[in-house]
Structure 1
Amino acid sequence: MPRVTGIDLDALSIDQAREHPDDVEYILGDFLTHPFEPASFDVVASVATLHHMDAATGLARIRDLLRPGGVLAIVGLARSTMPKDLPRDLAGVVAGLSHRAMKGHWEHPSPIVWPPPVTYPQMRALAAEILPGSQYRRHLLLRYSITWRKPQD
C-alpha cells in the first residue's frame, strides 16, 4: 500500500492539511534536515517551496531522497529578468486575473517570499547541473516545472 508523507515548516499549513481526512502522514519540520532515510521515496513532489530555501541545497536533498528510478516533480516560482520576461509575465498576470475571476482566490496561511531569490535561467541551470537529464519548462502564472527520473544504479 502506498504511503504519503507531507512536510512543512509552517504549523498553520500542516494544521490546515490535517483538517482533511486522508492517509497522509503530516510532519511539522524542515525537509532539509528531517531525518528521512536516503533513497527512501519513489516520488517527491514539491509545489512552491524551493524559493523558501537555497535552491541548490533543496534540489540536491530531493535527488538524494529519491530511490533509483524514482520520480521528481516540482512546480516552483522564480524571479523574472526584465525586460526579457515582461511579455510572459504580463500574459501570466492576465491569465491569473481570469483564473481568479472564474475560480476565486484561495488565501494560504504559509509565509510569502517575494521576489524569489533565484531567476528562471538560474533555476534552469541548477536543474541541469544537479539533476542531469531533467526536463525544465516555463509556464504562465509565474511558474516553472522540473521533472526528473533518477537513474537506476
Structure 2
Amino acid sequence: MTVKTGRRWNHNIHYHPRILDAVPDGARRALDVGCGEGMLARELRRTVPGVTGIDLDATSIDQARGHPDDVEFILGDFLTHPFEPASFDVVASVATLHHLDAATGLARMRDLLRPGGVLAVVGLARSTMPNDLPRDLAGVAVGTLHRAVKGLWHHPSPIVWPPPATYAQMRALATEVLPGSEYRRHLLFRYSIIWRKPQG
C-alpha cells in the first residue's frame, strides 16, 4: 500500500516526534543508531548541525546515501565502530534494540553521550498474555485507522520478530542502565525511553 498523505507512515515513524521533541537546545552532534534509510537522521538534521547515522544493512545505507543532504551515513556496527566516547549531544534509536543485546546497546548509547546530552529510544517489546490483550486489541484498532488514512510504508531494513524482551523487562533494564530515565509504553506496540546524562 502506498502512502496517501504524501508522507510516509508506519508504527515507527508515528513515534519520531517523541525523539525529536527530546533534542536538547543547542545540540551540535546527533547519532542515529540503526538509521535504516535515514528518515529520522534527516529529521534530526533540521535542528542539529552534525548528524551521523549508522546501520549494519548495506541496502538501507545505500538508500540513505542517495538523498541530497549532508548527513553522514556509516555502514557498520555501532557497538564496535570507533566513535569517541562522550562525543554526541543526542543519541537516538528507533526499532533497533531488539536486534541486539539490549543492555549492551543501552550502555553503549549512554557512553557515547556528552554530559547533559539526551538518549532517546523508541523500541519494540513482547506482550505478556493475557494481561496485555486489551491494550493490544486497542492498538490493532487504532493502527488500522491510521493505515486507512495514511497508508503503510514498509522500510527496507531486516525484521526481527518476535522481540526477545517483554515490556516489563525493558522497563526494568532502563531503570538499571539509565537511572532516572523516563520509560513510556505506547499504544501502537512501541515503548520509549528518554534519558538525560547527568552533568559532571
The answer, yes or no, to whether TM exceeds 0.5 is yes
Question: Aligned residue for 2:123?
Answer: 76
**Secondary structure at 2:103 match in 1:** helix
CA distance in 2, matches of 1:19, 1:137: 34
Please state how far the C-alpha of 1:140 moved relative to its aligned partner. 1.2
Please state how far the C-alpha of 1:35 moved relative to its aligned partner. 0.8
Q: What TM-score results when the alignment is normalised by the length of structure 2?
A: 0.75
The alignment yields a C-alpha RMSD, in angstroms, of: 0.9
Please state how far the C-alpha of 1:15 moved relative to its aligned partner. 1.5
* Residue identity in the other structure for 2:179: P
**Secondary structure at 1:70 match in 2:** strand
Pair 1:25 & 2:72 matched: yes
Q: Which runs of 5+ in 2 are unaligned?
A: 1-27, 29-48
Between 49-58 and 95-104, report the one with greater CA deviation. Answer: 95-104
CA distance in 1, matches of 2:196, 2:107: 14
Pair 1:42 & 2:109 matched: no
Of 41, 46, 53, 2:100 maps to 53
Q: Per-residue CA shift, 1:87-138, capped at 9, x if unaligned?
A: 1111111111111111111111111100000100000000000000000000
Question: Aligned residue for 2:51?
Answer: 4
CA distance in 2, matches of 1:97, 1:34: 39
Give 1:1-153 correspondences, 5 Å limit: 2-153=49-200
**Secondary structure at 2:129 match in 1:** coil
CA distance in 2, matches of 1:143, 1:107: 17
CA distance in 2, matches of 1:97, 1:152: 43
- Between the two proteins, what is the percent identity of the paired residues? 84
Please state how far the C-alpha of 1:19 moved relative to its aligned partner. 2.2
CA distance in 1, matches of 2:157, 2:102: 18
* Residue identity in the other structure for 2:98: H
CA distance in 1, matches of 2:70, 2:139: 35
CA distance in 1, matches of 2:91, 2:159: 22
CA distance in 1, matches of 2:56, 2:126: 22
**Secondary structure at 1:105 match in 2:** coil
**Secondary structure at 1:67 match in 2:** strand
CA distance in 2, matches of 1:10, 1:90: 32
Q: Which runs of 5+ in 1 are unaligned?
A: none
Q: Per-residue CA shift, 1:57-80, capped at 9, x if unaligned?
A: 000000000000000111100001
